[in-house]
């Protein structure tokens, strides 16, 4: 069975190499407390004493044992001097495996860890199987296993041992799924699926390089070697618009990092009016059709910089419509499509055509943006609301406002959901409080003043909230102290 490459070569080497200490860390991890010195004094040979302290220090830092041949020379010299031995008292190549194993048992006992054996291996195997049933990626399974062993105080084996266990579980899971799929397929359906992997004949006949039928059905390349690109946020703008089933947006604004010419084209064809705030507007290129290249432009206050490639748009118009239909039907997200189109070493012809169409829409928008004061003000107001929302989010996330402290997607989603719940609770309370003030206004004049103030401000206000307190949802604390009625009671 071939070994699975879960980690890269560099990551594997780092996992199986002892940690590199600075002077302070070296002093911390190679400290010899009294119970450790008792075991050291029982050893006769200086080399064994040095090796024992080295293994103890590395285990304290990494919770696993490393090959003596990988011990760092600077650490060997430090421990040798600390124990009062010469620098050549320890030779890693002459450290017997049997002695090393005995030292590892002593260290595990001193640290309160379980030895890697049959019982612990079965425990980790069952955890891996549980994660495989959740379709987690092998690399995530690997690091979750490491975290689990540290948490349960189990000796962490080498990379190859963990990798082989994961491969065994995934291979078993693959066989289970294959059996389920075969039992559910009728002979006719199975034959149709098999035909997708039959090589098609080209004009020169069928060869080893002939594409499979499944390959020819794909509209986008499935290259596994994407080019390195600076991915903008623009594609996620379309994702947000398409996934919002509550509020239907007719105009949408973003900052510069959320715009691209391809997004201008996509939003236009999806029926959204896209109005970004573009930085350095004077440096943006304006486009005109080639039919106007001979027109006298001497009296034009704003002159175009380039020409639209109309032929490219016409040639790829059907593919552009297919792409937009795919996004509109939510078969695939826009971010996935644009990530694939951006992954080519040379720009895909479809992406070029989409950008060419977007250049038309962008040019019209820039001219309108320059001419329409109200549009500029509306865009600024909208983005100010977004900035206020961002400040609100940072205020709620006390302690770590700009980053997730969790590495796993599920935990990040929980943290984000909690943040959103707290924000919505504050906004809801603000609405209820303002509604109460409107309902109890002394006269129409006061009510109109309050309405005007509400209409020019945002309910996202948190200055009156103690964000450093505790969130207490007990029955006693849930009693209202402001006399705010619930919506049902108010009705």
> Rg of the chain over CA atoms, in angstroms?
33
Collapsing DSSP to helix, strand or coil, 199 comes out as strand
What is the tally of helices (H) and strands (E) in the chain? 21, 4
Extract long-range pairs of 1-7: CB within 8 Å, 24+ residues apart. Answer: 1/167, 1/168, 1/171, 3/160, 3/163, 3/164, 3/167, 4/138, 4/163, 4/166, 4/167, 4/170, 6/138, 6/139, 6/142, 6/163, 6/166, 7/139, 7/142, 7/159, 7/163
Read off the pLDDT of residues 118-164 as tens digits, 9 standing for 90 and up: 999 999 999 999 888 887 888 889 989 998 999 899 999 988 899 99
Question: Percent of the chain having pLDDT more than 70?
Answer: 81
Asked if 57 and 29 count as a contact pair (C-beta separation under 8 A), the reply is: yes
Output the CA torsion sign for 418, 419, 424, 425.
Answer: positive
pLDDT of residue 317: 92
Read off the pLDDT of residues 13-66 as tens digits, 9 standing for 90 and up: 888 889 888 888 888 888 888 888 888 888 888 888 888 888 999 998 888 899
The H or E element spanning position 256 is none
pLDDT of residue 228: 35
- Measured distance CA(324)–CA(337) in Å, rounded: 10
- The list of the chain residues with pLDDT below 50 reads 1, 203-204, 213-231, 487-491
Asked if 231 and 342 count as a contact pair (C-beta separation under 8 A), the reply is: yes
Q: Say what the pTM is.
A: 0.44
């Amino acid at each position: 069975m071939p070994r699975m490459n879960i980690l890269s070569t560099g990551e594997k080497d780092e996992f199986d190499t002892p940690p590199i200490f600075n002077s302070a860390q070296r002093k911390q991890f190679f400290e010899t407390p009294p119970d450790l010195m008792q075991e050291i004094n029982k050893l006769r040979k200086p080399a064994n004493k040095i090796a024992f302290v080295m293994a103890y220090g590395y285990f304290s830092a990494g919770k696993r044992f490393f090959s003596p041949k990988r011990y760092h020379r600077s650490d060997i010299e430090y421990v040798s001097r600390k124990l009062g031995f010469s620098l050549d008292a320890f030779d890693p190549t002459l450290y017997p495996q049997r002695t090393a194993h005995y030292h590892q048992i002593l260290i595990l006992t001193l640290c309160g860890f379980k030895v890697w054996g049959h019982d612990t291996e079965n425990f980790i195997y069952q955890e891996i199987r549980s994660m495989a049933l959740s379709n987690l990626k092998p690399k995530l399974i690997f690091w979750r296993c490491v975290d689990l062993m540290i948490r349960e105080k189990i000796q962490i084996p080498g990379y190859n041992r963990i990798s082989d266990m994961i491969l065994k579980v995934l291979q078993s899971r693959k066989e289970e799924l294959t059996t389920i799929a075969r039992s559910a397929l009728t002979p006719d359906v199975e034959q149709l699926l098999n035909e997708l992997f039959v090589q098609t004949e080209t004009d020169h006949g069928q060869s080893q390089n002939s594409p499979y039928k499944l390959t020819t059905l794909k509209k986008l390349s499935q290259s596994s070697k994407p080019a390195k690109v600076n991915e903008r946020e623009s594609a996620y703008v379309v994702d947000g618009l398409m996934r919002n089933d509550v509020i239907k947006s007719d105009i949408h604004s973003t900052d510069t990092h959320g715009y691209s010419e391809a997004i201008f084209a996509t939003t236009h064809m999806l029926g959204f009016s896209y109005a970004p705030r573009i930085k350095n507007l004077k440096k943006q290129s304006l486009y005109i059709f080639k039919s106007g290249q001979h027109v006298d432009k001497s009296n034009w206050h704003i002159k175009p910089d380039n020409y639209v490639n109309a032929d490219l748009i016409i040639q790829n118009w059907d593919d552009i419509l297919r792409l937009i239909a795919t996004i509109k039907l939510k078969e695939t997200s826009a971010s996935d499509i644009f990530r694939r189109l951006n992954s080519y070493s040379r720009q895909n012809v479809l992406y070029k055509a989409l950008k060419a169409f977007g250049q038309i829409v962008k040019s019209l928008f820039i001219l309108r943006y320059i001419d329409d004061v109200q549009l500029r003000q509306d865009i600024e107001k909208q983005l100010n609301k977004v900035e206020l929302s961002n400040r609100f989010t940072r205020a709620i996330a006390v302690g770590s406002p700009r980053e997730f402290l969790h590495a796993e997607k599920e935990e990040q989603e929980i943290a984000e959901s909690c943040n959103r719940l707290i924000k919505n609770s504050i906004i809801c309370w603000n609405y209820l409080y303002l509604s109460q003030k409107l309902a109890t206004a002394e006269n129409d004049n006061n009510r109109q003043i309050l309405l005007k103030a509400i209409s020019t401000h945002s309910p996202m206000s948190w200055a009156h909230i103690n964000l450093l307190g505790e969130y207490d949802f007990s029955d006693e604390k849930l009693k209202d102290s402001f006399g705010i009625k619930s919506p049902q009671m108010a009705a």
